[in-house]
Structure 1
Amino acid sequence: MSLDASKWAWSVEVPTKKGGALKPLKKLVLLSLADRAGEDHCAYPSMSRLVDDTEMDRKTVLKIIDELIEDGLIADTGERKGKTKQVKVYQLVGVNGRETVPTMEPLKDQKADLKSTNNGTVPTTEQFQQFHERVPTIPLKGPNVGTRNLSKNLPEESKNKKDWFCFKKLCEEIYLADDSIDFESIMNSKWAEREKRAFENYNAEKPMSDDLMIYHFADWLINAYRTKYSNTQNPTSGKPAGTGGKSQQLSEKQIQTFAQKLSQHPEFSSKFSEPGESYEKLAARIAVKLEDPAQAKKWEPYLKQVGFNGSLPGAAA
């Protein structure tokens, strides 16, 4: 359905002639066509559909269609649709609006009678055949510049662009993939930036959105950490980063439990949550922080308020 076509059909002047159909009946058929027009302002309802819409007999509808063509309000495009390829496609002539605004320069040279209120702007048959070949003229400073064909341009615009990286989203993705990995220790390491450059070079020609880049980069970092760097993160403990010292700190189960409770603790959440952040995302961020013994010690007073009964070693920062 075309809103512009319907508005046009309601407002256009429908001429009458001696011996022709009544003006209200012609308007009704025109409205039915407009109601079923697409964005190109073409309509191809079957004759039975028009009969049902208008509650007129088939002969009367056919007569009115011919009169509307004579009036210059619609035109037979010559195209046929439907299973039998016999349903005529009609163009609503003179519809202008936000959906399609074609520029037809040859009409400037037409006679004045073509600009009358009864005819609107009526192209000749030759001009009408060229209608679909014309490219709408859009001002360089128009509101549509830069937005047309956005879905086609989006992959190019997102392709390995410099601002795809988001620290917060990457933290969430790594936490969801493997919550035993200490995200901050990875990002503070010397090799993280090197792996980031390698990842960008590897995916330079692949059209991916920002979120998809983050998703694959999380897997890339985890794989690099496990296969190349895990033994260098904490060589004295003999354990991968993020797990060393856990026996003396909060257990994995405690971290998950207290992260959920702290995310809904009124004083804690009001102080440490970000604007618009959900409880689930806040809990995930808290869990990552609790992996750090120093940070866990710093939050120990809040942990005791939500049920922690032990005492964490070390001094709060």
Structure 2
Amino acid sequence: MSLDASKWAWEIKIPTKKGGALKPLKKLVLLSLADRAGEDHCAYPSMSRLVDDTAMDRKTVLKIIDELIEDGLIEDTGERKGKTKQVKVYQLVGVKGRERGPKMEPFKDENTDLKGTNNGTVPTTEQFQQFHERVPTIPSKGPNVGTRNLPKNLPEESKNKKDWLCFKKLREEIYLADPDLDFEYLMTASWGDREKRAFEIYNADKNLCDVLMNFHFADWLIHAYRTKYSKPAAGQQAKAGDSKPQHLTEKQIAAFAQKLAHHSEFSSKYSEPGDSYEKLAAKIAVKLEDPAQAKKWEKYLKQVGFTGTIAGEAA
């Protein structure tokens, strides 16, 4: 796993084009590739692995990879791996970081004369200096030897990361689901660790990548907060009208369209024969841009994590 590649994938801006895949889906595929990149920032996961990581169908993943190549974010190196030598090796374009070693230039012997001053076993002063310039030497007992010093070169989150949890991704997912929730409160609440353990136990037998773990943990936390930890005190009742009606943002539309596409009751009611999850999600996203239609589906939106009230009247 390349930390620099993962950091690059999180920060890179995904371009959009008419008729192309949704940006969140392209980001998910790019993150899956970065999560399996080596120190040379090349990745060669099998297609079945990408399908499992992203929960998309094979056809959609292939389409998105082609778009990422067109966008100049990855490129096909032409190399093939695997037992059948059919797994493509992709280079992540533009990743920069400390994982690549120093570039060495071979010493050029400009004088090949056997009788010259460079011949023999004793190097000249100039040769000695050039040799030490091109080969960095680190004392075996120096402070920079070993991986114990690596954390001082890493971002703060990389120092503290011991498992799949990524605060940046989790914050983003919770904000998309409910911008009014206090992320800091959820992270410091006394019940947070308990819910994290329960979530890990629940998903112990599932082969989920870190991105999907954070995605589902956001829903898990929000559901736990609403159902177990945010009930009004005894004798108090929530006042009707406390939540201000709102319109869905572009990010919320993209996120909830994906969740509704995987909602069994909703998809069985509104999908058409032959629709894939991605095709259905794209249709839902277009519909959610209409406040009246979003209001009509408010019941389902709340079932997949939306809180508050949709502005407008049902169509």
TM-score, reference length from structure 1:
0.33
For normalisation by structure 2, the TM-score amounts to 0.34
Task: Determine which structure has more spread, i.e. the larger CA radius of gyration.
Answer: 1
